Amino acid sequence: MTCQARSSYMDTEVLWGHRFTPVLTLEKDFYEVDYNSFHSTYETHTPVCCAKELAQSRREGQLLGHVP
């Protein structure tokens, strides 16, 4: 069975440097969904600038745009 879903977020709801917690697990040859952590996120190491600025700072040998 195929399931497709869409969602949109307001700009105030977007958390920079976060990823969604995985909600699917394989249990006894069946996928199980953990709906309790459906909206949970965890922090990741993410640059604090856009990709263009990050590439430019790397070309210039600077460490700007990196999370400590």
SS3 31: strand
User: What is the maximal distance between C-alpha atoms in the chain?
Assistant: 52
At 36, the pLDDT band (50, 70, 90 cuts) reads: very high
Question: Which amino acid is located at 22 in the chain?
Answer: P
CA distance 41 to 3: 22
What integer pLDDT is reported at residue 62 of this predicted model? 67
Q: What is the pLDDT of residues 4-35, one digit of tens each?
A: 888 888 989 888 889 999 999 998 899 999 99
Where do the DSSP E strands lie in 1-68?
Answer: 18-20, 24-27, 30-33, 41-43
Query: What sign does the CA torsion over 55, 60, 64, 66 have?
Result: positive
